[in-house]
Amino acid sequence: MDFDLSDEHEAFRKVVRDFAEHEIAPHAERWDRDHVFPVDVVQAMGDLGLFGLPFPEQHGGSDADFTTLCVAIEELARVDSSMAITLEAGVGLGAAPIAAYGTEEQRARWLPDLCAGHALAGFGLTEADAGSDAGATRTRADRDGDDWVINGSKAFITNSGTPITSLVTVTARTGPGQEITAIIVPTGTPGFTVEPAYRKMGWHASDTHPLRFEDCRVPIINTLGREGQGFRQFLAILDDGRIAIAALAVGLAQACLEQSVDHARERIAFGAPIGANQGVAFRCADLAVMVENARLLTYKAAWLKDSGRPFKQAAAMAKLYATEAAVDAARHATQIFGGAGYMDETPVSRFYRDAKILEIGEGTSEIQRLVIGRELGLPVR
């Protein structure tokens, strides 16, 4: 039994941490305040090889394992969740469906730019009335000769409207049986409209838009995988994504722990550092336990995936525990900082606002409990 990451993983962690601390951390508060999506930094992440980590070298990737991707996401989230989710969604939701289910022609066309960080892709699954119940998709795609004609809308789509977004993979009902099919829709396609960005509580430097399709015509050859298999494909992609979101949560919780301990050592009240008070020290101790548990669950799930073993339940457990721990960690950190924690000049204020979405995106906490219950053999619905 070995709980250490490999020397290669640890060396990679140092590279990403150095990049995050020097190229992201000094600007994160400004990006958050001004709602800036920093294209140049995202492309620099691409130059570092982050967007190509789990993909084949022949398409511009690094053939790295999933654990390596989790390390990168964790380290980015330690300083800025917006950049962490940009990477997580760009890899796990944007490029991964094409790598997993695309034809060789589709991979050759789209993956090199996505792996290089020159382009981003969105994952068009969620709709206003089809979130946790993703099978309730209403968007339709009808055959017309050699084309699909798509009509419908999508909601809360990450990386869908950036200056470098090249495509969105969309789920739509097709055929007389109304099966769900995944279809690649390039940006700029007539009838594909990216609506104005949402005003969000957090992730202010991340790109999120509603999408609209009105007689949007794309070739049948843009079908991703087999017709009618889109729902199954996206559920499999989400299993991977749950581990990645857990890694993001670990990074945010780790940052809350570090900020809290530093503040508890430096802040003087009643003539002593506030960390000398059991109320603060115990809160930091609880934070440390939460972070450790979240990290162990997350990297166990990544290890299971990398080992080719079943990981659905482990992914759901990691996502459930780590994201709820991140929310608790942000709340504890804000309390430790007191009034200063409520001010946007301190990172913990941003961490607090960024944390909540982790319990919602890529499967709510309730959905994770449902998945775990089913894996336990319970007839839960």
Q: Residue 148 is part of a domain; what is its CATH number?
A: 2.40.110.10
User: Both 77 and 104 in a single domain?
Assistant: yes
Catalytic residue among 214, 345, 362, 366: 362
> Is 2 part of a structural domain of the chain?
no
> Is 326 part of a structural domain of the chain?
yes
User: Both 287 and 370 in a single domain?
Assistant: yes
- Which of 181, 208, 228 is the last residue in one of the domains? 228
> Is 380 part of a structural domain of the chain?
no
pLDDT for the residue 184: 98
Lookup result for tokens 């300083």: 79
pLDDT for the residue 1: 86
User: Both 36 and 78 in a single domain?
Assistant: yes
- Which of 74, 100, 120 is the last residue in one of the domains? 120
Distance of alpha carbon 316 from alpha carbon 250, whole angstroms: 15
Q: List the CATH number of the domain containing 296.
A: 1.20.140.10
Number of domain units in the chain: 3
User: Both 254 and 341 in a single domain?
Assistant: yes
User: Both 30 and 13 in a single domain?
Assistant: yes
pLDDT for the residue 381: 87
> Is 84 part of a structural domain of the chain?
yes
Find out whether 190 and 147 touch, Cβ atoms under 8 Å.
Answer: no
Give the gyration radius of the chain's Cα atoms.
21
33: containing domain: 7-120
Using CB atoms within 10 Å of the CB of residue 5, give its burial: 0 to 12 exposed, 13 to 18 middle, 19+ buried.
middle
User: Both 135 and 34 in a single domain?
Assistant: no
User: Both 130 and 103 in a single domain?
Assistant: no
Show the CA angle centred on residue 250, arms to residues 248 and 251, nearest 5°. Answer: 65
pLDDT for the residue 123: 96
User: Both 77 and 36 in a single domain?
Assistant: yes
- Which of 91, 120, 149 is the last residue in one of the domains? 120
Q: Which residues of 317-326 are buried (b: 16+ CB within 10 A; e: fewer)?
A: bbbbbbbbbb
Catalytic (active site) residue 266: no
Mean pLDDT, 10 residues at a time, the chain of 381 residues: 94 98 98 98 98 97 98 98 98 98 97 98 96 94 98 98 98 96 98 98 98 98 97 94 98 98 97 98 98 98 98 98 98 97 95 98 97 97 87
> Is 1 part of a structural domain of the chain?
no
User: Both 220 and 304 in a single domain?
Assistant: no
> Is 381 part of a structural domain of the chain?
no
Distance of alpha carbon 79 from alpha carbon 259, whole angstroms: 11
Q: List the CATH number of the domain containing 61.
A: 1.10.540.10
User: Both 86 and 139 in a single domain?
Assistant: no
User: Both 360 and 249 in a single domain?
Assistant: yes
Show the CA angle centred on residue 61, arms to residues 59 and 64, nearest 5°. Answer: 140
User: Both 352 and 224 in a single domain?
Assistant: no
